[in-house]
Structure 1
Amino acid sequence: MRDAAEFDSFYSASAQRVLGQLYAMIGSRVEAEDAVAEAYARAWDRWGTVRECDSPEAWVRRVAYRVAVSAWRKAVNRLSAHRRQVAEQPVEAVTVDHVALVDALRRIPAEQRRVVVLHHLVGLSVAEIATEAGTNVNTVKTRLARGRRALAAHLADDEYQITGGGRGHEV
């Protein structure tokens, strides 16, 4: 139990400082929080060795930074693999309608975008969306209605008016 009390004291005295330092180093509070939590978990697993270091706090900070960098590397590798796979697949022609729809979807709030895509593009029912999103049916209906209105407003913008044959067509 002495080890637990000693570690708790170390954690209490240093965690916020290490989090602030890592956040400053990597620029993302969420990623810093994840990396610092992992580093302290590893420190606890090795507390007998870590406490003997010249600076246990420096050990935790170094491990947290390495955890964050490792996460970035994994993300970059996944992206590179995805790009290689996508580069080998034929690309369908992109229409003006497609570009307008994607742009309009990007302009609406994320939760509205999610339900609109799940309902209209994936074909899920409102109940299925509620289950997948972990929310209730009325919330899904509200987001779907608001999302449709927002999309309609963005798609009706003059920016998406296409001229063809002398008259404008809405996308």
Structure 2
Amino acid sequence: MAEHSGFEEFYTGTRHRLIMYLYAMTGDRAEAQDAAQEAYVRAWQRWSTVSSYDNPEAWVRTVGQRLCLNHWRKARNRIGAYLRHGTGPDADPPSENTVALISALKQLSVAERQAVAMHHLMDLSVAEVAAQTGVPVNTIKTRLARGRRALAGLLDEDAPEEYAHA
């Protein structure tokens, strides 16, 4: 712990100035706080060296400023890529069947919905679903059967009333 001696006092005495400086540089308080946090983490990791500098605060300020510049460069590159390539084609709205399925799935219990989604949408076997959820295989089979029965009733307008509320 001796290698970090004095860091807490340094941090407490300089954090407000650094955040205000980075905020003034970026115009974004959250970005300034993130960069300051990362700069202090790096200073803490190298504190035995940084503390021996004539002005450790200048070192932390430089690291924080470089982090912000890197953020700006990445944003500029994203904008450039967007301008060159644009966005992909707009996705079609979901079909009526998709909306009906999602609506019906929401009406299942969480356990049934999980079993149905993992088995039918992710193509996992019953044994794989059981292993990943930590539930016995027979319990998964029961959840699948109940879930399917409930979905059949919810998705089929002509289904008998007894299945609609399964």
TM-score by length of 1: 0.50
- Note the C-alpha offset of 1:83: 2.0
Alignment partner, residue 67 of structure 1: 67
The amino acid across from 1:39 in the alignment is: A
3-state SS of 1:53 partner: coil
- Note the C-alpha offset of 1:5: 3.6
Is 1:6 paired with 2:10? no
Per-residue deviation, residues 32-72 of structure 1 (Å, max 9, x unmatched): 00110111111111112211111101110111011011001
- Note the C-alpha offset of 1:24: 1.6
Q: Closer, same or farther in 2 for the Cα pair 1:8/1:84, shift >3 Å?
A: same
CA distance in 2, matches of 1:4, 1:90: 53
TM-score by length of 2: 0.51
- Note the C-alpha offset of 1:20: 1.2
- Note the C-alpha offset of 1:86: 1.8
Alignment partner, residue 167 of structure 1: none
Q: Closer, same or farther in 2 for the Cα pair 1:39/1:19, shift >3 Å?
A: same
State how 1:98-109 maps to structure 2 within 5 Å.
none
State how 1:2-151 maps to structure 2 within 5 Å.
2-86=2-86, 125=103, 127=106
Q: Closer, same or farther in 2 for the Cα pair 1:5/1:48, shift >3 Å?
A: closer
CA distance in 2, matches of 1:7, 1:90: 52
**What 5-or-longer segments of structure 1 have no aligned partner?**
92-116, 128-171
Q: Percent identity?
A: 44
The amino acid across from 2:9 in the alignment is: S
CA distance in 2, matches of 1:72, 1:51: 29
3-state SS of 2:52 partner: coil
**What 5-or-longer segments of structure 2 have no aligned partner?**
107-166
CA distance in 1, matches of 2:89, 2:34: 38
CA distance in 1, matches of 2:15, 2:32: 11
Question: Mean Cα displacement is larger for which, 33-42 or 15-24?
Answer: 15-24
Q: Closer, same or farther in 2 for the Cα pair 1:90/1:3, shift >3 Å?
A: closer
The amino acid across from 1:78 in the alignment is: R
CA distance in 2, matches of 1:60, 1:73: 20
Asked if the contact 2:4/2:47 (under 8 Å) is kept, the reply is no
